[in-house]
Amino acid sequence: MIQGTGSDVGKSLIVAGLARVFARRGLRVRPFKPQNMSNNAAVTTDGGEIGRAQALQARAAGVPPSVHMNPVLLKPQSEIGSQVVVQGRMVGTARAREYQDWKPRLLAAVVESFEFLRAEADLVLVEGAGSASEVNLRRGDIANMGFARATGTPVVLLGDIDRGGVIASLVGTKAVLDPEDAALVRGFLVNRFRGDPSLFADGMALIAARTGWDSLGLIPHFPDAARLPAEDVLGLKGAERPGGKVVAVPVLPRIANFDDLDPLRAEPGVSVVLVEPGRPIPAEADLVLLPGSKTTIPDLAVLRAQGWDIDILAHRRRGGRVLGLCGGYQMLGTTLSDPQGIEGPPGTVAGLGLLDVATVLTAEKRLAAARGVSLPDETPFTGYEMHVGETAGADTARPLLRLADGRPDGAVSADGLVCGTYVHGLFADEAQRALWLGRLGAAPGPEAYEAVIEGVLDRLADHLEAHVDCERLLDLAG
């Protein structure tokens, strides 16, 4: 089990890299994260949803994603509350304090999923959540030491030297851990080192001496990590590419499935501009893309409060293109109704009015792989559906897509410049990305997106094999 001294120290990346390392050796590898918190989810082959990081780790291991790889997924709906997904299916919503009382009941599902994976694998690589040193949350814990103790799983602690204070964070974790928890920690790794590794040799020795844990590797910074799908919205931050066609994306508080943007961000002829609060949508945008949202009605209110609705309408009057994905599609309609109070108080709000459609949110969630063709060009696509709500109206008579089972999906305005769809993952499809780039007057780059991801995973595995004691990790796993 890879636990961390904090959030964003690289746990997901290291597990993905190790999954590829050991899968290349012929082992049956399965990734596992007991509890995850993310609105960037993936649809599994067994019809549920898990965190996007575990789907990437499954890909690295060469196996299909399963609900058992992330049995508890928390999807934040507010600053203090989340939707709770257990083994791929939503079971309710809970505020942060209420959720603490849920944890003991959820441990059984976590252990059940872990045992399911362990029975079919030679090696299970477990990813912790947040920080192992959050001992104030230790009671009922299912994400870190609580899980490790319940299953007898050996732990390797990962620190991030790039953020500073890595010696204190590793030694300090040992200091605050319960002795029985600390006994499960067998070694440590230091991630994201820059410079001459010999300059930190004394640091590695000091950590080992103060903790009694084995030093398992000093991992240099791996720049290509930025090319892999990010699970946290913070992973979207970064310099915008100058020049090229401009795709403007308003960054809403509960943005979801934002890995839809990754293939576009990788295109050399495209500049994806992430429009932060307080900034206008750029007038030079060729496409305004409204991404998915975990809470569509509240995010629509934020969009209006930022004045982005005015910017989008002005963009449209100038002849600009607008695309809505899932929740963004719902925002483009005339009305959005929540009669059951799924996202908050029951009610109906006005949409942006750019499509003649209306949406009613429903309790039932659709989770399914999707394939078919776009219309009217009959270009094939693959992707997935993950949404609540039903959308209908005059513009659905011009669907954007036709699914393989014959169902239409999405809507297109009469002039063809505004459209929306419930299908995620369109831009990861080579044919669809080329189609959309052509509509913007751009051409796709020389590298296929899926090949880029595979290449990065292979280079990551090479990187870890060069700098981590992988043989010792296998010994620790027994």
User: What positions carry a catalytic annotation?
Assistant: 326, 424
How many Å apart are CA 48 and CA 64, to the nearest integer? Answer: 12
Q: How far is CA 282 from the centre of its chain?
A: 26
Q: 426 near 381, Cβ under 8 Å?
A: yes
How many Å apart are CA 193 and CA 223, to the nearest integer? Answer: 11
Structure tokens at 222: 């791996």
Say whether the peptide bond before residue 376 is cis (omega within 30 degrees of 0). Answer: yes
In 10 A of CB 57, how many CB atoms?
Answer: 31
Beta strands 358-374; 401-403: pairing state? antiparallel
292: nearest Cα among 338, 339, 253: 253
How many Å apart are CA 147 and CA 144, to the nearest integer? Answer: 6
366: nearest Cα among 351, 341, 383, 381: 383
Say whether the peptide bond before residue 223 is cis (omega within 30 degrees of 0). Answer: no
Q: 155 near 3, Cβ under 8 Å?
A: yes
In 10 A of CB 454, how many CB atoms?
Answer: 14
Q: Where are the alpha helices (DSSP H) in 261-343?
A: 262-265, 296-305, 308-317, 327-331
Q: How far is CA 79 from the centre of its chain?
A: 18
15: nearest Cα among 51, 45, 41, 40: 51
- Beta-carbon contacts of 79 under 8 Å, excluding residues fewer than 6 positions away, are none
